[in-house]
Amino acid sequence: MRLAVLYSGGKDSMLALLKAAEKEEVICLISMVSKNKESYMFHTPNIKITRLQARALELPLIRRLTEGKKEEELKDLREAIRRAEEKFKIEGVVTGAVESVYQAERIQKICHELRLWCFNPLWKKDQEELLEETMRKGLKVIISGVFAYPLDKSWLGKHIDKEMIGKLVALQQEYGISPSGEGGEIETTVLDAPLFKKRIEIMDFNVESDGNSGVFQIRKARLTEKCY
Amino acid sequence: MLLIVDMNYRKDSVGYYEFVLPIASSIKDLEEYTIRHYSELSRTDIDRYSRIILSGNALEDKQVLTQIEDFAWVGTCEKPVLGICAGMQAIGLIFGSPLKRCLELGMTWIRTVKRNPLFFSSFKAYELHGYSIQPSEELDVLAESEKCPQAVKHKKKEIYGVLFHPEVRNREIIRRFMDL
């Protein structure tokens, strides 16, 4: 089955891509670039890096800009998926949804209207397990956004490794924070993954933060040979 | 031991993660389980398990409904069976209840209409289906939404079907099924 992956450049969409690619054929990526920082559907720091990630994956990328207004952004998503269908003859769409019935319902509806299959390979996955699988599969992931107490700028740009997973799980126990950021507490950016032909090297970045909210903005990056 | 039947379009599909594993994680502390794809089940296999859950599948996945003869064993099964979504549709077809178009996506109000050991009162549940069933006389309707029957039970057996997805929201329904 020919599938498109809704790809934000973070760990969830990357892990969903890897799982889908183990079973079916991933043909292209779709990224929504939202102007609205409050968007429930699409906003994520470093969305622009998906261009580089698509090159690393050697997959075509359909990018669509959206104002991020509540129902309008769904029309924009529908249009992006329709374009993927037209251009790449996709038969289905894969998302990195884990818990959000809000997102899942809306994407299912669009896919159904377009008569496309919809898959959510991370659906209801335990969040600690999700982080461990991210590491086990060899993804190199940094924290590129924090949006909840007691997280702050000291977390930004840090790699998700065994020690970091331990810290995030401890925060869950103490503060009720979702360790994989399912409640929007953290956002991540993937710099390397098993299907990447090259890895992403960050050349320049900027940290913007205000208390418990902050982003690690990649200003300049390039593809470079992987280290084996 | 529980048998979870994978109702996806083929064995080892991408739908397995979404429709089968969440059921397994709902009961993992309660009982040992085995997962098998519907196409590889024989009557002998069924006899090895104490109860059975039939999973759901993707909204566009109609494969299992074209191979309903693979579920003839449900008609003579004396063990507790719970069919979820496509699982309820399969149970319906086996007991003479034709499919009826009824699209419901997302969180939906469900109203209990007959007392039963799995759920009570009104509650919101996650829906992902294009069809319900027109229940035959062999099945009691246990719950309804505004649009269609949401849960059924065989009149004489512990065979249940729910159209909504209790592995997504309302996991206690699956746990109560494990106590039957």
Q: Distance from B138 to chain A by nearest Cα, in Å?
A: 32
* A79-84, long-range: CB < 8 A, 24+ apart: A80/A30, A80/A32, A81/A4, A81/A30, A81/A110, A81/A111, A81/A114, A81/A116, A82/A114, A84/A4, A84/A27, A84/A28, A84/A30
At A228, the pLDDT band (50, 70, 90 cuts) reads low
CATH of domain A2-119: 3.40.50.620
Three-state secondary structure string covering A106-134: HHHHHHHHCCCEEECCCCCCCHHHHHHHH
Which distant-in-sequence residues (6+ apart) come within 8 Å of B38 by Cβ?
B5, B6, B7, B54, B64, B67, B70, B71
* H or E segment and range at residue B173: helix B172-178
Residues of B in Cβ contact (< 8 Å) with A92:
60
* Residue B135, token pair as written in the block: 């229940």
Q: Which one of B60, B106, B169 has the shortest CB-CB distance to A117?
A: B60
User: What pLDDT does residue A224 have?
Assistant: 96
Q: Distance from B28 to chain A by nearest Cα, in Å?
A: 12
**C-alpha separations of B97 from B53, B67, B127, B137, B152 in Å:** 19, 16, 20, 9, 11
User: For chain A, how long is the longest CA-to-CA vector?
Assistant: 48
User: What pLDDT does residue B166 have?
Assistant: 98
Q: Give phi and psi for A33, each to the nearest 5.
A: -105, 105
Q: Is B106 on the interface with A (CB under 8 A)?
A: yes
B59 to A108: CB separation less than 8 angstroms, yes or no: yes
Q: A41-79: per-residue pLDDT in tens?
A: 666 778 889 999 999 999 999 999 888 777 788 999 999
Cα angle: A45, vertex A51, A53; to 5 degrees: 85
B14 to A108: CB separation less than 8 angstroms, yes or no: no
Signed CA dihedral, A75, A102, A21, A50: sign only: positive
**What residues of B are labeled active site?**
85, 165, 167
Q: Which amino acid is at A10?
A: G
B8: nearest CA in chain A?
A119
At A38, the pLDDT band (50, 70, 90 cuts) reads low
DSSP A2: E
Using the structure block, give the residue that is written with the tokens 């035959």. Answer: B136
* Superfamily, domain B2-178: Class I glutamine amidotransferase (GATase) domain (3.40.50.880)
Q: In angstroms, rounded to a whole number, what is the distance separating the alpha carbons of residues B45 and A152?
A: 54
ipTM at complex level: 0.94
Q: Which one of A1, A23, A108 has the shortest CB-CB distance to B105?
A: A108
> What is the DSSP pairing of strand A2-6 with strand A25-34?
parallel
Q: Distance from B156 to chain A by nearest Cα, in Å?
A: 34
- CATH class held by domain A127-224: alpha beta
> What is the DSSP pairing of strand B159-162 with strand B149-154?
antiparallel
A124 to B25: CB separation less than 8 angstroms, yes or no: yes
Residues of B in Cβ contact (< 8 Å) with A115:
60
Q: Which one of B18, B106, B107 has the shortest CB-CB distance to A123?
A: B18
Look at residue B93 and give its three-state secondary structure: helix
Query: Domain residues of chain A, as ranges?
Result: 2-119, 127-224
Q: Is B105 on the interface with A (CB under 8 A)?
A: yes
Q: Is A178 on the interface with B (CB under 8 A)?
A: no
Cα angle: A48, vertex A53, A57; to 5 degrees: 155
Contact yes or no for B46/B52 (Cβ under 8 A): yes
Residues of B in Cβ contact (< 8 Å) with A123:
17-18, 22, 168
| pLDDT of A24 strictly over 90 | yes
Residues of B in Cβ contact (< 8 Å) with A20:
14
Q: Is B180 on the interface with A (CB under 8 A)?
A: no
Q: Determine how many CB atoms are found less than 10 A away from the CB of residue B138.
A: 17
- Pick the residue of B17, B26, B104 with the most A CBs within 10 A to test the interface with A by mutation: B17
B105: nearest CA in chain A?
A105
| pLDDT of A184 strictly over 90 | no
Q: Is B97 on the interface with A (CB under 8 A)?
A: no
* Residue A66, token pair as written in the block: 């959206």
User: What pLDDT does residue A57 have?
Assistant: 98
The tens-digit pLDDT sequence of chain B (180 residues) is 999 999 999 999 999 999 999 999 999 888 899 999 999 988 778 889 999 999 999 999 999 999 999 999 999 999 999 999 999 999 999 999 999 999 999 999 999 999 999 999 999 999 999 999 999 999 999 999 999 999 999 999 999 999 999 999 999 999 999 999
Q: Which one of A92, A115, A120 has the shortest CB-CB distance to B18?
A: A120
Three-state secondary structure string covering A18-69: HHHHHHCEEEEEEEEEECCCCCCCCCCCCHHHHHHHHHHHCCCEEEEEECCC
Prediction pTM value: 0.94
Burial A10-40 (b: 16+ CB within 10 A, else e): bbbbbbbbbbbbebbebbbbbbbbbebeebe
Residues of B in Cβ contact (< 8 Å) with A109:
105-106
User: What pLDDT does residue A172 have?
Assistant: 87
Look at residue A149 and give its three-state secondary structure: coil
Q: In angstroms, rounded to a whole number, what is the distance separating the alpha carbons of residues B36 and B34?
A: 7
Beta bridge mates, A92:
A3, A117
Q: Which amino acid is at A76?
A: D
User: For chain B, how long is the longest CA-to-CA vector?
Assistant: 40
Count of alpha carbons within 13 angstroms of residue A42, beta-carbon side: 28
Q: Between residues B84 and A179, which one has the greater pLDDT? A: B84
Q: A87-99: per-residue pLDDT in tens?
A: 999 999 999 999 9
Q: Which one of A105, A117, A124 has the shortest CB-CB distance to B105?
A: A105
